[in-house]
Amino acid sequence: MTARDHTAAVGRAGVEGPPGAVRARLAGDTDLDGVLAARLRDESCRTRRRVEDRLAAAGYLGGEGTACPTGQGADDDLPDAVDGLDARRDLGAVVDEHVDLLERIDALHERRLRSPSARERHASTRVLAEALHRIVEGYEVEVPRARGPVAVAERVDQWVGRALVRTAGALGRPRGALHWWARYGRWTRLGLGLVTAVLLASGAPEAAAVVVTVRSVAATVLFSPDLPDGRPGRVLGYDPAWAACVCTHLGDAAVVAGVGLGLHLGGHSAWGAGAAFVALFSLVATVLRVASGHHGFRLGRLWTDRVVVTGALTAAPAGLAMSGAGRPGVVGPVPLTVAAVAAVAVVGVGEIVRTVYWGFRRRRLFRHGPADSADAVPHVVVARSGDALVMNISRRRWPRARVLDQVPDPGPGSGEDGGRLRLVGHGEPP
């Protein structure tokens, strides 16, 4: 831009009038009346603290509010360079890292949508989901550790999960059946649960026991964490994990409600009402746990819950079948069924207690976190809802945790030209 464009430049910047007039006004408008002086004094009092912080950070102001000696020359005005601070804040690297992160996220989106390999699409989705979760939550996802009996229960639950996964892997399950169950298992669970409820309500507990046993065995043996989704489903925003969650818990509630009807038909109306209440209660408890995800919790379903509920749902219709008319039954008519329903109720109570417990733990974390470290609170969060790209620009000190987990470069002789992304977490239904 040349000097001839000067007027245009000033006009664009919004300054009133041509520069000559502005200059003349600045030279002539020098009145300082009492009102303006009072306003200056007030403004100084109001904003002095922030300006002093700036001056102190730049080295113009001493630690006790005293001015650092400054000379008359411009060079003398500048304090000595702050090497340590500068080394920590390599802004070029920060910019590069932002761009690098954006490019990686774009690449992951690209792979998630367009890769010909279903496995790669799935892996990209998982990495992306974890990365976005970390961005939303802040670069450091601080997970409060459980203590005491809760920690013991967590360890037991993880042990049960590992044992179940090992057992399922050792069974030599047919790949076709696994694939079919991964695609249609959630609907099958819901369907068999509803069929069980109908059979129990129509007075056929034996058939119901068979159906629910088939349901439980199939769900246990053919369990797979991989949940493939089709392209039309993706377009519509269909989430297979969410569908699996809804189908499973609705099916379970239907079975319990059917048991309640069966008890009512068997003449135990009070117990039947209790079972119906438990069906509703377990649904509410599950909804409470799942809805906590909106507040940033990731409370997946416990393995012990799965085991207990699967066992209880299998046992309850069996108990009803054994207590049929004219049969003595090894177990009394009510105790086995009621115990099974009570186990489902206990699981529901456990879910509520678990959600509330982690809520309190996080509140405690939020209360104590900012006191422990001054920069624990993110500075600003920029959210883009278009494709769920969320940036959290925080004021944390360097270095901060990386959003994408990357396995280090294996070395020049390995044949790979760089690090690779590490998968985090499992795609289990909640």
Partner 1 sequence: MAAELAIARLDLRQISLVALYDALDGADRQRHGHEHRVAEAAALGALRVAARDDRSPAEVARAFFGLYYVFPNLGLVGPFYDGDVGALKEVTWLSAYDAIRSGVSVRAEFHARLWEDVCDDDRRARAAGLYVRDRSLDSVPPSASRLAVERHRRRIDALLTGSECVPALLAQWAIESHPRRLDELASAEVRHKHGLLEQRHMAVLLGMRPNTLAQSLRRLRARLGEEMRVLWDIERTGGLGPTGDPDDDR
Residues 54-83 that bind partner 1 (CB under 8 A): 54-55, 57-61, 65-68, 70, 72-74, 77-79, 81-82
> Shortest distance, CB of residue 83 to partner 1, whole angstroms?
8
- Cβ closer to partner 1: 96 or 154? 96
- Cβ closer to partner 1: 86 or 142? 86
Region 114-133 residues binding partner 1, contact defined as CB under 8 A = 114, 116
Q: Applying CB under 8 A, which of residues 63, 92, 232, 326 lies at the interface with partner 1? A: 92
- Cβ closer to partner 1: 19 or 174? 19
Region 286-345 residues binding partner 1, contact defined as CB under 8 A = none
Q: Applying CB under 8 A, which of residues 18, 63, 99, 195 lies at the interface with partner 1? A: 99
Residue 302 and residue 312: Cα distance in Å, rounded? 15
Binding residue count for partner 1, defined by CB under 8 A: 76
Q: Applying CB under 8 A, which of residues 13, 235, 330, 371 lies at the interface with partner 1? A: 13
9 lies in the binding site for partner 1 (CB under 8 A): yes
> Shortest distance, CB of residue 48 to partner 1, whole angstroms?
7
Q: Applying CB under 8 A, which of residues 63, 64, 91, 175 lies at the interface with partner 1? A: 91
- Cβ closer to partner 1: 110 or 154? 110
At residue 393, what are phi and psi to the nearest 5 degrees?
-95, 105
Closest CA to 141 of 405, 385, 356: 405
Sketch the per residue contact string, 352 through 391, with partner 1: x for CB under 8 A, - otherwise: ----------------------------x-x-x-x--x-x
> Shortest distance, CB of residue 376 to partner 1, whole angstroms?
19
Q: Applying CB under 8 A, which of residues 18, 48, 225, 353 lies at the interface with partner 1? A: 48
- What tokens were used for 30? 């020098």
> Shortest distance, CB of residue 236 to partner 1, whole angstroms?
17
Residue 241 and residue 209: Cα distance in Å, rounded? 27
Residue 127 and residue 136: Cα distance in Å, rounded? 14
Sketch the per residue contact string, 17 through 46, with partner 1: x for CB under 8 A, - otherwise: --x--xx-xxxxxx-x---xx-xxx-xx--
> Shortest distance, CB of residue 52 to partner 1, whole angstroms?
8
CB atoms within 10 A of CB 203: 15
Q: Applying CB under 8 A, which of residues 18, 102, 298, 410 lies at the interface with partner 1? A: 102
